[in-house]
Structure 1
């Protein structure tokens, strides 16, 4: 059944696009032109400066006021109209004819609540205690602004309109969902997003079609018993014992209930209760995450997590209440790349970088809120490599040692611009769902 549903989704995505004509020489010239322009010192140095300003002044989700102002100031200088605010602190710019078809490019803006490690000596490190851009979103903004410069300079060659989506709150705040709910992307026929990659060499890209990143949910549970002195446990109902059994039982959901070929994860990452060595507490709180690539597996995991926690707690004479996610921390769907856009991406990337620099990425269990766009619009997400052995090791995302190789900026800007321009020229995407509204007034 899952296979049939995936096949139907593939064919549904094909209907969003008119049959593409053969790639023209002008299309290929766009690809080469944008990379050459992005490498020029005037554009490269400008993107570096933007990136460093944002890195020095990180802002958490839905707090990106100064980042948004910087973006708006730069769009004003370029003469690019925009809508603000979108999703509280987001900005959406518009380049091109102001009419259909519409293609969107997305960059996330938010930082993380991580303290940069004291040993980091970079001149432009975060100036805000307890916050840093430890996931490359500062580079994403700089690259999309770089793409905006390229596209604006060639706006008369665009066969439609490109939307520049500067999105807040990717890190757990589901900013993408709020952007969708705003209606600003209603007539968009395709959307592209990228992420700098610490596993791939500079000058390369990595992605794939179909499921790329997992759907992610979160749970919290309070297991309540009866506290008392540790020396007389017979007079207590020990919630620590009950919670310990819950943690072990939850691991069986993957090891003994999931299809080994259907990747799933259940992780308990929080266990809180008590505070004294000789007192059994009255309650324990546990929490964690669960992940899967298919919606069916995701729903099944959620149901079984609730059952295991409540029933296993009752075996130990305790009560349990389970909550899943919240408005501040919603579940994310799986990131599933559109198969038609995969072909488009490969053509653009191969002509820009060469076939040897196109890496096929295996699905990973991380999550990305770009998936919300893909539930409503044919979308494609990819990684731009930035590893250079001459510059030492690059720590993974969410590390207090995280850093960006700024040589990646021209690649991201040129890929953004080329993917959008050539999609408009070659594929003429139409919106999957039209509600009768238009951006013709732009």
Structure 2
């Protein structure tokens, strides 16, 4: 494609992005109808009462498939053990994806209410029950407007987001084949209900985990000269690891390294043979992430050897795959701003700073030409300070469900109407994204 054609295509796409969206506010009105909200609340509470961990979401998957069946939506199952991929529209290109994660956490719920988790030691403490509900809500809206869909909406219900690499397994098994763009979301108490938040470019960090075993020679605590103390070695390792951020990382390149696990010994007067430490590391660029990974291993092994100990490092890549940074396509972000402004008003579309939390939604960026991730606010004035996710006291403001359902549906519907008709018949979609 020559220079002038490229410029013309780019200007054409930009002009499309600045056209008015088609009836997005009407979708919110539908999602806020009493019968609709009661239906969503009922689904969310059933999910909350029966939380399931990653790759164990069998009843969750069954509930989702039952709802899709009742709506007459076709789907394929299973992907990645329990995952589901549904289809609404023509079954032809272009394809746009909407994703929700399904898994719960190994946390004992401490909130006393009628629909408290019925499974000891398991809880939807991150809002994935709300995410599934909102995607089902979006599916219902889209199915009601099936005749308007100019292409295909792909509904992705994904297992094992919480460290299990569910997104990667879904991709490996073909769940996002032919998808041109994909949207993901997360509920948050950081912003009021009725607001949504995102940003172009990096929005969440890449993350990895590590575990190290530092081995010495145990013995009686009263005669330490006859031992090689792994606790002293591990303590020095922890301190040295902190220097990787404070002394080696560029202060303008945000990185985090946290040792959150330190296990060794079981008696007051016995030096153990070994100590296990573990933690997580985060960065916003792949280069910084891989450099940090390399230095973690070097520091642990070499610092342990200074104390006459041996060390082995495991980055848990099989059970906890590295998650790349979550980065939003700038053109999809412009699309998000327009659609969201039509639903909640421009003043309620917030631009956020990047956060060091991670999301395995990031895996989709390697498999789909364009990705976008955003937050749905749920805080009320009476909430005071919001409870963080992964807390046994985490709660959901169910008034936010209708906003997530309407926005997810509208992002897909408007994407297909704006990009589908104008590009699919004249320009190869992949080529268009190459140009962007």
Tell me the TM-score normalized by structure 2.
Answer: 0.93
8 Å CA contact 2:195–2:350 kept in 1: the answer is yes
| Residue 393 (structure 2) aligns with | 401
From 13, 32, 36, give the equivalent of 1:39. 32
8 Å CA contact 2:103–2:159 kept in 1: the answer is yes
Name stretches of at least 5 consecutive residues in structure 2 with no aligned partner.
1-5
8 Å CA contact 2:21–2:338 kept in 1: the answer is no
Q: CA deviation at 1:234?
A: 1.0
8 Å CA contact 2:16–2:419 kept in 1: the answer is no
| Residue 362 (structure 1) aligns with | 353
| Residue 414 (structure 1) aligns with | 406
Q: CA deviation at 1:352?
A: 1.2
In the alignment, structure 1 residue 267 sits paired with structure 2 residue 258: yes
Q: Per the alignment, in what secondary structure is the counterpart of residue 358 of structure 2? A: coil
Structure 1 residues 209 and 228: alpha-carbon distance in aligned structure 2, compared to 1, 3 A threshold = same
Q: CA deviation at 1:326?
A: 3.2
Distance 1:28 1:238 in 2: 66
From 40, 55, 59, give the equivalent of 2:48. 55
In the alignment, structure 1 residue 19 sits paired with structure 2 residue 19: no
Q: CA deviation at 1:361?
A: 0.7
Of residues 386-395 and 219-228 in structure 1, the stretch that sits farther from structure 2 once superposed is 386-395
8 Å CA contact 1:20–1:427 kept in 2: the answer is no
Distance 2:54 2:214 in 1: 31
| Residue 378 (structure 2) aligns with | 386
Q: CA deviation at 1:19?
A: 2.1
Matches within 5 A, 1:95-134: 95-117=88-110, 120-134=111-125
Distance 1:418 1:311 in 2: 54
Q: CA deviation at 1:277?
A: 1.1
Q: Per the alignment, in what secondary structure is the counterpart of residue 347 of structure 2? A: helix
Q: Per the alignment, in what secondary structure is the counterpart of residue 13 of structure 2? A: coil
Structure 1 residues 311 and 380: alpha-carbon distance in aligned structure 2, compared to 1, 3 A threshold = same
From 236, 249, 256, give the equivalent of 1:258. 249
RMSD: 2.0
Structure 1 residues 275 and 391: alpha-carbon distance in aligned structure 2, compared to 1, 3 A threshold = closer
| Residue 177 (structure 2) aligns with | 186
| Residue 439 (structure 1) aligns with | none
Distance 1:74 1:343 in 2: 32
Q: CA deviation at 1:433?
A: 9.0
Distance 1:142 1:115 in 2: 22
Q: Per the alignment, in what secondary structure is the counterpart of residue 19 of structure 1? A: helix
From 356, 364, 389, give the equivalent of 1:373. 364
In the alignment, structure 1 residue 238 sits paired with structure 2 residue 232: no
8 Å CA contact 1:58–1:128 kept in 2: the answer is yes
Distance 2:99 2:350 in 1: 22
Distance 1:108 1:191 in 2: 14
8 Å CA contact 2:93–2:151 kept in 1: the answer is yes
Q: Per the alignment, in what secondary structure is the counterpart of residue 403 of structure 1? A: coil
Distance 1:269 1:39 in 2: 42
From 324, 329, 341, give the equivalent of 2:320. 329
Q: CA deviation at 1:231?
A: 1.1
Q: CA deviation at 1:432?
A: 4.1
Q: CA deviation at 1:353?
A: 1.1
8 Å CA contact 1:92–1:165 kept in 2: the answer is yes
| Residue 132 (structure 2) aligns with | 141
| Residue 3 (structure 2) aligns with | none
In the alignment, structure 1 residue 276 sits paired with structure 2 residue 270: no
Name stretches of at least 5 consecutive residues in structure 1 with no aligned partner.
1-11, 435-442
In the alignment, structure 1 residue 71 sits paired with structure 2 residue 42: no
Alignment length (residue pairs): 419
8 Å CA contact 1:210–1:338 kept in 2: the answer is yes
Q: CA deviation at 1:394?
A: 3.3
